[in-house]
Structure 1
Amino acid sequence: MHLCGAVILAAGASSRMGVAKQLLPFEGQPLIVHIARIALVSEVSSVAIVLGAHAEVCAMAVADLPVRVVNNPHWQEGMASSIRAGVDALGSEVDSLVILLCDQPQISPALINALISTGHPLAACRYGQTVGPPVFISRPFFEELRGLQGDTGAKSLLKAHAEKVGWVDFPAGANDLDTPADYARV
């Protein structure tokens, strides 16, 4: 049986938003809860939420959910440190990971499931003129994820192994929440 875990990246300081975007209301609940609930009803076997800047209040928001809270003390180093923390938390328990961003509220269980079921060892979403998260990474690439540095996600991994990447169209992926204007639009 193939086990896939979900890693939700929610460690950032939300400096462009001006408030902890993880806690912004979305569909009647904090954004971080919304994303976690979506992951929990998908085909993933476990969910880890990587926290950093607003760890204490975010952990309280998800306290009633069956998720693993992972504190990333190095969150200021950038996204790569949170990816490493997520891989370290779930990597030994699963065969693959789906990496989700806390600020993409329009993800769905169907999208997560589509990434898992492309049949490719890597998968990512296409939106606008770019590709990006959520992404699916199988175990043979976990060490490369652990090697990422700075404020980079898995895009370099996807480029390095382009022939192994499956694609899922996700036009709403372009609607991430970085600024108050983004939040108002979505």
Structure 2
Amino acid sequence: MEDLPMTAGLLLAAGAGRRYGRPKALVELAGEPLVRRGVRLLGDGGCTPVHVVLGAGADEVPDLPGAVPVHHDRWPEGLGSSLCRGLASLPADVPAAVVVLVDQPLLSPVAIRRVRAAYAGGALVAVATYAGRPGHPVLLGRGSWPLLDSYAIGDRGARDLLRDRPDLVVEVPCDDVGAPLDVDTPADLLRLVSDG
């Protein structure tokens, strides 16, 4: 099928969605919960295994065929702790992980494959860019994971690492395949539906 090295998929879906009014993992777009859409995105992009970090509303999350749910009791500490929890949950033989956020439903499997191809080409960290700005997906090779201990804090994931260590990062243009738009409020979702 494709000749790319194995990379795991990591979907961060633990937040309470305070601005939305409920956990965004449970929000539906075209009749599909965003958490299932994210699992499908990673699977279609060739990631295996796929782990999903769950926190707020975890008991209400539907079955996730093709994914391993990772319950994170410390999710209120923010995105950084969810990222570290998710990476720690992956099997020891996983050399890299592609990270996506549950509230970005317009990401493309093509972008997933592009950052995986950058990893196959030697990148330790690969980030999709849109109009020259970094977004998701982000691929993190295992060698970069220890660096996150001092970066993935509070609501910060890998963003500051990407900024501070450009020597580790390969940027992968993905303007032509999807968009990194966040669904933070019900109005954002309505815009996606009306624009789609």
Q: TM-score scaled by structure 1?
A: 0.90
Structure 1 equivalent of residue 181 of structure 2: 175
Structure 1 equivalent of residue 164 of structure 2: 160
* Equivalent of 2:57 in 31, 45, 54: 54
1:56, CA displacement in angstroms? 0.9
Distance of 1:117 and 1:39 partners within structure 2: 14
Contact 1:128 1:174 in 2 (8 A): no
What amino acid sits opposite 1:163 in the alignment?
D
1:27, CA displacement in angstroms? 2.8
Cα deviations by residue, 1:78-117 (Å, 9 ceiling, x for unpaired): 0011001111111523000111100110112211010111
TM-aligned CA distance change 1:160 to 1:138, over 3 Å: same
Distance of 1:135 and 1:165 partners within structure 2: 10
Q: Which runs of 5+ in 1 are unaligned?
A: none
Report matched runs for 1:5-20 at 5 Å: 5-20=8-23
Q: Secondary structure at the match of 1:117?
A: helix
Q: Which runs of 5+ in 2 are unaligned?
A: none
Cα deviations by residue, 1:11-49 (Å, 9 ceiling, x for unpaired): 000000112221222133111111111211222121000
Distance of 1:2 and 1:175 partners within structure 2: 28
Contact 1:87 1:146 in 2 (8 A): no
Distance of 1:100 and 1:93 partners within structure 2: 20
Higher mean C-alpha deviation, range 14-23 or range 48-57: 14-23
Task: Give the alignment's Cα RMSD to 1 decimal.
Answer: 1.8
Report matched runs for 1:18-167 at 5 Å: 18-58=21-61, 61=62, 63-90=63-90, 92-118=92-118, 119=121, 120-127=123-130, 130-147=133-150, 148-167=152-171
1:174, CA displacement in angstroms? 3.9
TM-aligned CA distance change 1:84 to 1:64, over 3 Å: closer
Distance of 2:64 and 2:83 partners within structure 1: 24
1:129, CA displacement in angstroms? 6.4
TM-aligned CA distance change 1:163 to 1:11, over 3 Å: same
Would you say how many aligned residue pairs link Structure 1 and Structure 2? 183
Higher mean C-alpha deviation, range 154-163 or range 77-86: 154-163
* Equivalent of 1:184 in 179, 184, 190: 190
- The share of aligned pairs that are identical, in percent, is 32
